[in-house]
Amino acid sequence: MKPLQIAIDGPSGVGKSTMAKILSRRLGIMYLDTGAMYRAMALKAIRSGINPGDREKVLTILDNTDIGIEFENGSQKVLLDGEDVTEKIRTDEVSMGASAISAIPEVRVRLVEMQQKIASGSPVVMDGRDIGTVVLPDAQVKIFLTASVKERALRRYREQKEKGILSKTLEELEKEIELRDHNDSNRAESPLRQAEDAVLLDTSHLTIEEAVDKILGIVKAKGFADAL
């Protein structure tokens, strides 16, 4: 039987990574955060003085950029040219850069190939924008998460405040999320969209735990949880 693949897609700030991580722990299977790979690529461009949206310039660094994924105690580490950049890719600048660089077809081809390779052979929960549509089109479980822009901005605001890294107003965060939504949904290559066979889950009024329970319910209803 093909290993279980769970594809979780949705816009920025909807809680995909947090939910996918908890879900993978509860099921005891691997979790791959594909956004982190686009983020690492964006960090490389920024460090090289290149605008992540400038396709021609990005192509000049693509072949000498090494993105690696390692798993340590179940947590994913992202390596950029051998350096652990797991924390450094979480800034707002890198978020915007990742959104821009992910529109470049050659970047997508390269990272999608890596993602498919990592997923082959073992059960996985993967989150991103194109997992159910492009990366794992045959995934047995596909979830498309949504939440209003206001709710997502509020979550980010609280998170940054809690971490003591808040540097923007709620309105500014809302604008950033709107812009990333627009970029991610309107690019020509693999835009963010719900796969036809994905289950839509609006998390605006759900806690993380409630949302994870709902996804687990879907996995169980399909009879997959027992097979693990």
Q: How far apart are CB 139 and ligand DC at their closest, in Å?
A: 13
Task: Name the pairing type of β-strands 83-84 and 75-80.
Answer: antiparallel
Q: Nearest CA to 176 among 86, 58, 97, 104?
A: 97
Contact (Cβ atoms closer than 8 angstroms) between residue 138 and residue 161: no
Contact (Cβ atoms closer than 8 angstroms) between residue 157 and residue 170: yes
Containing 77, the helix (H) or strand (E) segment is strand 75-80
Amino acid code (one letter) for 158: R
Closest to ligand DC by CB, 27 vs 180, is 180
Closest to ligand DC by CB, 131 vs 211, is 131
Closest to ligand DC by CB, 35 vs 123, is 35
Q: How far apart are CB 210 and ligand DC at their closest, in Å?
A: 21
Q: How far apart are CB 220 and ligand DC at their closest, in Å?
A: 26
Q: How far apart are CB 1 and ligand DC at their closest, in Å?
A: 26
Closest to ligand DC by CB, 86 vs 99, is 99
Give dist(CA 113, CA 55) in Å, integer: 19
Footprint of ligand DC (CB under 6 A): 12, 34-35, 38-39, 95, 98-99, 102, 128-131, 180, 184
Contact (Cβ atoms closer than 8 angstroms) between residue 103 and residue 187: yes
